[in-house]
């Protein structure tokens, strides 16, 4: 996203289009991983620390909630 700032500024980005259900799957996978692995195992197996995984989960949850609001407004 041109002009975006934040934790990942300067890091190459890609855009992926996902459905609300697909985002839910990713959120569930991240939640299960966070619940199942301790900090060292998470970092070693997934390649990120717990804080980064939670940050990604938060961003995905925001997108999912935004999609739900849009879908609910479209149905009304």
b/e sequence 15-47, b meaning 16+ C-beta within 10 Å = eeeeeeeebbebbeebeebeeebeeeebeeeee
- Cα separation, 28 vs 53, in Å, equals 12
Checking if the pLDDT of 75 tops 90, the result is: no
pTM for the complete prediction? 0.77
pLDDT of residue 1: 37
Which pair of structure tokens corresponds to residue 46? 């997934």
pLDDT tens sequence across 1-20: 344 444 567 888 899 999 99
pLDDT of residue 74: 78
pLDDT of residue 62: 95
pLDDT of residue 3: 41
pLDDT tens sequence across 35-54: 999 999 999 999 999 999 99
């Amino acid at each position: 996203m041109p002009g975006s700032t934040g934790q990942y500024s300067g890091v190459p980005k890609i855009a992926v289009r996902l459905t609300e259900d697909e985002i839910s799957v990713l959120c569930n996978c991240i939640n299960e991983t966070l619940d199942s692995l301790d900090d060292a195992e998470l970092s070693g197996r997934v390649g990120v620390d717990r804080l980064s995984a939670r940050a990604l989960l938060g961003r995905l949850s925001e997108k999912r909630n935004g999609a739900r609001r849009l879908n609910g407004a479209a149905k009304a």
